[in-house]
Structure 1
C-alpha cells in the first residue's frame, strides 16, 4: 500500500505539473474524451431487500432506487469544475464559449442527471444540453446487442469466461475466502465468520458458485461474489452519499472495512465483464466511436461536432469495465481494488500534439477518493482526484504516450472478430 501511495502521489504531481510542462515543451492539447460512470446513486434494491442480508437496518435514500442523489449531483459538479480548471490552464478551453463541450449520456435518470451536474461545473453559465438516443430506446454505446449493432455469441462468451477460471468457478471462489469472511462479519455484525444463521436472512456463504443459463447478453454468475457485488455496491453508494451507518447500529464500517470487502465485487465484475469475448461484444462499438472522435479528421462516426474540444460520455461501471477489458487497460487508485470503478470515476483520453509533430493519446483513470466523496471535498489542482496513468498494450511507449495511428490499430484489432 505504501508503494501504491507513492505511485499515486507521483501520478498526481505529474498531472498537476502538466500545464507548465506542456507549455515549456511546446506540446498542444487538442481534444479530450471523458468516459464517466454516473455519480452516487440510491441503491438499486429496496432497503427491505437489503436488510435480508444484514443484521442492522439499512440507511434510507431520499430518491427512488437507482436515481442520482443530491450529494451525487454535487460531487459530479465538483468534478466538472476541476476539469474546467485544469483544461483552461492547459489551453484547451477558453472564455465562455458554450459549444466547447459536448455531452452524451445513456437514457437512465442517473446518467442524464450526472451529465447535467458535470456540465454545471465544466460549462458554467451555459445551458447544458445532454444528448441521448431518446427515452425507451437502446443506445448502441451502452447496449450494442439490444440496439442491433452487435451480436452476442453466448457460447463463446461463456468459454472466454470459463477459460479464465479453468472451468471451475468453485475453485476460483475458494480463493476469496478472506474477503467472504470479512463481508459476513460486517453484514451480520458478528465477531468471527461464519456468522450464525438467522431466520429470514440471506448469507454470503449460502449460494454455491455456478454459471447461470438465463443470461441474455453477458455471462451470468452466481455465488458469494455475485451476492457480494450488489450488496457492497449499495454499501459503497450509501457511504459515498454520507449516510449514517453508525446511527443505524452498525459497527466497524469504515474505509478500511470497505477495502477488505471490495475484492468480491471486483472479482465478479472483472471475470464477468472484462473477459475478451464479453468485452468485444459489449464495448467494441463504443471503442470505435471513441477512436473516431479522437481522430484529427473525425468522420460521421464521431461523437459531437468537429468544433467540440471535449466530449463527455456518461454511462455505467460496466461500460468502463468492458472497454478496459477490450483494450487491456489496467488502473488502480488508493482505497479501491485494481480496476474498480467507483461512482463518478472516469477514463480520460487526451489527444496531444507533441513538439516533434507526433499526435499521441494519453489515457488515465481519475476518481474521487472515498473521503472526497463522503465529505464532498472540492477538487482543485492543489487537491485533485486520484489519477492513474494507463498503459495501453500494443500502443503505449515508455512515456505512456500512445501514437494516434497505433491507437487506431489497437482499437481496430481488438474489435475485429
Structure 2
C-alpha cells in the first residue's frame, strides 16, 4: 500500500471537518431572552372555609386545624414561594434579562388577584427577587376581571353546551366515569374515613350540575378533590405525618396515591373548551398583548385618549399571581398538559407557574418558549432551595415547527401566537393596571 495513503486520508478528514464545524456553529445561533410573562399559583394555604365545610360534612369527622387563618398564605408557603422566586430571578440575571441591582420601571411589574394568598405570594416574589428594593405588588380592591369568571347568567344554550362538553370529557356517562375511578376513590376513602363510621360522600352517587353562570360542577367529585387538595397542602406545609391523611401518608410516594381525583376534577369541570374560553380569554389576551410589546409608547385611541392604562405594562418580567383555576383555563386554551414527578397528570401545585418567554436569535429571528414549572412535593415540604443540582420540574409546550435548543424548546414567534390567539374570545371588559 502507498505510504502516503494514511497521510492523505487524515488530511482529507481534516479538510472535510472544517466546513462541517463551521456549519454546525452557524446552525446554533446565540439566543437572547427579551421578555417574560409568568402566571403563578399562590403558595401553600390551609383549606378555605368552604372546602373545610365540604370535607368535614363528607367524612363526618373533624380535620386538623392549621395555625394560619383558613385560605390565607402560611409562613411556610411564603418561604417556599420565596425560594422559587430567588432561583428564577438568579437565572434571569444570568441571562441578562434583569439588572444586578434594583429594577427600574421598565424591568418588572407584579400583579395579583384580590385574594390575600395571591398578594402575599407576590410579596414573597418581590422580596426574593429584588431584596430591599420595595418593588410593589399591584392588586385591585374589588372584583378583578383579569382573574374572575365573568359574572352574569349564561343562556340556556350556553348551559347545555357546557353540560355536553362535561359529558364528553366524562366519556358520555357520569356513573361509568365514577366506576372507572373506583380504585382511586377507595384509596382516598381508606385514608380519610374512620372504620365502621359513616363517610357519606363516598356513598352518594355523583351529580353533574351547571350553575347559572355556566360553570360546571360535579357534586361528590368536588368534595373528594377538595379532600385530596387538603392532603397535598398539609404535606406541603410539612405537617407531621400523623396529621397528614390521618396517618396514612408517610412519604411523598404514599401521598401521591391519594391525589388522582384532583386530575379528574380538572378534566371534567375546569379543562372544558367553553369554560376555558369564558374564564381565561381576558388573561390570555393580556399575555399575548404583553408578548407583542416592543418598548414603544402606547397609541392614542380614536378620541385622542391615551391607552397606556389599558395595556399591560411594557416590562421585561410581567408576573401575574392568581389561582390554579386560572392556569387550568390557560393551559386548556393553548392545548398544554403535563405530568411532573410524583404529582398526578395536570397537577398545579402551590407556587407553580406557567411561563411565556420571548427570545431572539443572533440572526434576528424571534421565538416563543412556553413551559410549566413547579417544585416537587418534597422540595416544598422540606423547603429545599431549587438549584442546578436540584432544579424545578419543567415541562415544555410543543407547537408547530418548535425545536429543541440550548435554551429550551423554541417555537416560531408569529406562528405560536397565531395558534394561541385563535382560541381567545374577544374580551368584553377593559383591564386597567394600577400604578403606585
Q: Is the contact between residue 121 and residue 321 of structure 2 (CA under 8 Å) also seen in structure 1?
A: yes
Structure 1 residues 249, 232: CA separation in 2 closer, same or farther (over 3 Å shift)? closer
Structure 1 residues 303, 35: CA separation in 2 closer, same or farther (over 3 Å shift)? farther
Output the TM-score relative to the length of structure 1.
Answer: 0.84
Aligned partners of 1:29, 1:120: CA distance in 2, in Å? 23
Q: What is the match of residue 78 of structure 1?
A: 83
Where 2:151 maps in the other structure, the secondary structure is helix
Matched, 1:366 2:373: yes
Once the two structures are superposed, residues 131-160 of structure 1 have per-residue CA deviations (whole angstroms, 9 ceiling, x without a partner) of 11x22x221221151399xx9932222222
Aligned partners of 1:302, 1:49: CA distance in 2, in Å? 39
Aligned partners of 2:244, 2:377: CA distance in 1, in Å? 20
Q: Is the contact between residue 119 and residue 128 of structure 1 (CA under 8 Å) also seen in structure 2?
A: yes
Give the Å deviation of 1:42: 1.2
Give the Å deviation of 1:303: 5.7
Q: What is the match of residue 107 of structure 1?
A: 114
Give the Å deviation of 1:95: 2.0
Where 2:40 maps in the other structure, the secondary structure is strand
Q: What is the match of residue 246 of structure 1?
A: 242
Q: Is the contact between residue 293 and residue 301 of structure 1 (CA under 8 Å) also seen in structure 2?
A: no
Aligned partners of 1:147, 1:364: CA distance in 2, in Å? 33
Q: Is the contact between residue 34 and residue 347 of structure 1 (CA under 8 Å) also seen in structure 2?
A: yes
Give the Å deviation of 1:51: 4.3
Structure 1 residues 301, 361: CA separation in 2 closer, same or farther (over 3 Å shift)? farther
Give the Å deviation of 1:117: 0.6
Aligned partners of 1:29, 1:361: CA distance in 2, in Å? 10
Where 2:262 maps in the other structure, the secondary structure is helix
Greater mean deviation of Cα atoms: 31-40 or 241-250 = 241-250
Q: What is the match of residue 406 of structure 1?
A: 415
Structure 1 residues 362, 48: CA separation in 2 closer, same or farther (over 3 Å shift)? closer
Higher Cα radius of gyration? 2
Greater mean deviation of Cα atoms: 91-100 or 105-114 = 91-100
Q: What is the match of residue 35 of structure 1?
A: 39
Aligned length in residues = 379
Q: Is the contact between residue 56 and residue 248 of structure 1 (CA under 8 Å) also seen in structure 2?
A: no
Matched, 1:212 2:209: yes
Matched, 1:294 2:291: yes
Q: What is the match of residue 66 of structure 1?
A: 71
Gaps of 5+ in 2: 1-24, 299-307, 427-436
Where 1:250 maps in the other structure, the secondary structure is helix
Aligned partners of 1:414, 1:206: CA distance in 2, in Å? 39
Once the two structures are superposed, residues 199-240 of structure 1 have per-residue CA deviations (whole angstroms, 9 ceiling, x without a partner) of 5x434x2221221143534112123x2221111111111111
Once the two structures are superposed, residues 230-262 of structure 1 have per-residue CA deviations (whole angstroms, 9 ceiling, x without a partner) of 111111111111112416893331322321121
* Structure 1 counterpart of 2:224, from 224, 228, 232: 228
Q: Is the contact between residue 162 and residue 214 of structure 2 (CA under 8 Å) also seen in structure 1?
A: no
Q: Is the contact between residue 231 and residue 244 of structure 2 (CA under 8 Å) also seen in structure 1?
A: no
Matched, 1:26 2:30: yes
Q: What is the match of residue 178 of structure 1?
A: 183
Once the two structures are superposed, residues 27-75 of structure 1 have per-residue CA deviations (whole angstroms, 9 ceiling, x without a partner) of 1000011100000011113767644555876332112111000101111
Q: Is the contact between residue 277 and residue 424 of structure 2 (CA under 8 Å) also seen in structure 1?
A: yes
Greater mean deviation of Cα atoms: 85-94 or 240-249 = 240-249
* Within-5 A mapping of 1:130-141: 130-132=137-139, 134-135=140-141, 137-141=142-146
Give the Å deviation of 1:365: 0.8
Q: What is the match of residue 8 of structure 2?
A: none
Q: What is the match of residue 17 of structure 1?
A: none
Matched, 1:90 2:95: yes
Aligned partners of 2:123, 2:135: CA distance in 1, in Å? 6
Aligned partners of 2:310, 2:38: CA distance in 1, in Å? 14
Q: What is the match of residue 265 of structure 2?
A: 268
Once the two structures are superposed, residues 117-142 of structure 1 have per-residue CA deviations (whole angstroms, 9 ceiling, x without a partner) of 1111112221131111x22x221221
Gaps of 5+ in 1: 1-20, 191-195
Matched, 1:124 2:131: yes
Greater mean deviation of Cα atoms: 253-262 or 26-35 = 253-262
Structure 1 residues 389, 377: CA separation in 2 closer, same or farther (over 3 Å shift)? same
Aligned partners of 1:144, 1:251: CA distance in 2, in Å? 37
RMSD between superposed Cα atoms in Å:
2.6
Aligned partners of 1:302, 1:387: CA distance in 2, in Å? 32
